[in-house]
């Protein structure tokens, strides 16, 4: 099973251009900020938004190719879609919602209801067959939506923010079940989310989408280890700096220079973990290769540790203990020396 797509869609202010090849051996999470085009990508794959260019093919069969005039409508794409906030049919009970797709595919009524009943049981909703959607809790509704999508035994499963509408306590439970169903599903699996935790737990491949473009694509750990955009860096909670490397020196785009341990040449991105940044009231002597003076901009409480934003030639965030803050009398406006060891900076080609 292989989904092969080159999606170009221009709607409103969004210009979406994504190339995507996805087999049935991994779960892909499309992650990105609001308005990045994640949902539009999913809807385009499902045939609900027409392509302006490119193609969608499944196992070599072209489902859509505007240049060739090919378009398989959504009802014949055989893709199971779980929509944000479920979108159950309000006038039908849980069982009839699940049986809907089977009914549309010509399964006789009795057999369709029997299979729907089995699917409801598999998502833990036996006994709730006749419940109307408005009487279901958020978690129950999302389970019915999942059963409805799976009941048609699709070859592709698309999930659009499946947990976004749930409250925190339900989310963990539904996420656990969703993990199992995703693992057990044989076919192409694609999940859209804005929650990095959800992506990391449910998927083994993450595609970062920003302003309609793919910024990064790979295993979740790789993506957060080597962020390629500010959004991903913030997600991973690290400092991301951009510059030009000349051997062991990186001339930063914003001004200033960093010294790194591993020499390189050309455009690079450099990641500095906030815990590797140390703050001092007097210029530190000795080993650190990168030392500069800056002014504390803000201090954010992160539980046991505090995140200190320091402005100056190289704006950076340091993560320090409460004790350190008290000892150094850190407060907004205070001048501090910032030190980062060359070995604590990871750099890679931009």
Partner 1 sequence: MTRRRAPVPRPAVALAVLGAALFVLPLVGLVARTPWTALASALGSPEAMAALRLSLVCSLSATAVSVVLGLPLAWVQARAAFPGRALVRALTMLPIVLPPVVGGVALLTAFGRRGLVGRWLDEALGVRLGFTTAGAVLAETFVAMPFFVLAVEAALRGVDTRLEDAARTLGAGRWRVFRLVTLPLAAPAVGAGALLCWARALGEFGATITFAGNMPGRTQTLPLAVYVALESRPEAGIALSLVLLVLAVAVLVGLRGRWLGAP
List residues binding partner 1 (CB under 8 A): 43, 46-48, 73-81, 83, 87, 89-91, 100-101, 104-105, 148-149, 152
Residue 192 Cβ vs partner 1, minimum distance, rounded to whole Å = 14
Residue 21 Cβ vs partner 1, minimum distance, rounded to whole Å = 22
Nearest residue (CB) to partner 1, 100 versus 337 = 100
Residue 44 Cβ vs partner 1, minimum distance, rounded to whole Å = 12
Q: How many residues does the chain have?
A: 350
Torsion of CA 51, 53, 58, 62, to 10 degrees: 100
The Cα 260–Cα 181 span in angstroms is 45
Structure tokens at 112: 């369709």
* Ramachandran angles phi, psi of 290, nearest 5°: -115, 110
Nearest residue (CB) to partner 1, 74 versus 124 = 74
The Cα 160–Cα 40 span in angstroms is 10
Nearest residue (CB) to partner 1, 79 versus 320 = 79
Nearest residue (CB) to partner 1, 47 versus 220 = 47
Scored b (16 or more CB within 10 A) or e, 158-186 reads: bbbbbbebbeeebbeebbebbeebbeebe
Residue 146 Cβ vs partner 1, minimum distance, rounded to whole Å = 13
Nearest residue (CB) to partner 1, 27 versus 116 = 116
- Exposed, middle or buried by CB within 10 Å (0-12, 13-18, 19+), for 254? exposed
Residue 43 Cβ vs partner 1, minimum distance, rounded to whole Å = 8
């Amino acid at each position: 099973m292989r989904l092969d797509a080159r999606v170009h869609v221009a709607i409103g202010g969004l210009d979406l251009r994504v190339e995507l090849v996805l087999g049935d051996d991994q779960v892909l999470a499309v992650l990105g900020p609001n308005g990045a085009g994640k949902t539009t990508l999913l809807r385009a794959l499902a045939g609900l938004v027409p392509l302006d260019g490119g193609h969608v093919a499944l196992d070599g069969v072209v489902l859509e190719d505007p240049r060739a005039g090919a378009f398989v409508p959504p009802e014949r794409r055989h893709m199971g879609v779980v929509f944000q906030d479920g979108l159950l049919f309000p006038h039908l009970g849980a069982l009839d919602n699940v049986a809907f797709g089977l009914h549309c595919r010509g399964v006789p009524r009795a057999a369709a209801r029997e299979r729907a009943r089995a699917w409801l049981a598999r998502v833990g909703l036996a006994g709730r067959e006749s419940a109307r959607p408005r009487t279901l809790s958020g978690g129950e509704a999302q389970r019915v939506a999942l059963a409805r999508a799976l009941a048609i035994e699709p070859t592709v499963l698309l999930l659009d923010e499946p947990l976004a509408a749930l409250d925190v306590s339900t989310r963990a439970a539904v996420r656990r079940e969703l993990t199992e169903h995703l693992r057990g599903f044989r076919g192409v699996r694609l999940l859209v989310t804005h929650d990095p935790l959800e992506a990391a737990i449910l998927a083994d491949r993450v595609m970062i989408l920003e302003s309609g473009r793919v910024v990064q694509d790979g295993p979740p750990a790789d993506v957060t280890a080597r962020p390629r955009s500010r959004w991903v860096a913030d997600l991973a909670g690290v400092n991301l700096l951009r510059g030009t490397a000349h051997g062991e020196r990186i001339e930063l785009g914003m001004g200033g220079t960093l010294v790194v341990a591993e020499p390189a040449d050309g455009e690079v991105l450099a990641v500095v973990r906030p815990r590797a940044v140390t703050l001092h009231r007097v210029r530190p002597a000795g080993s650190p290769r990168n030392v500069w003076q800056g002014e504390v901009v803000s201090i954010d409480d992160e539980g046991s540790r505090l995140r200190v934003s320091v402005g100056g030639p190289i704006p950076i965030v340091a993560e320090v203990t409460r004790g350190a803050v008290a000892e150094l009398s850190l407060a907004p406006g205070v001048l501090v020396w910032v030190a980062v060891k060359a070995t604590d900076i990871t750099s890679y080609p931009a």
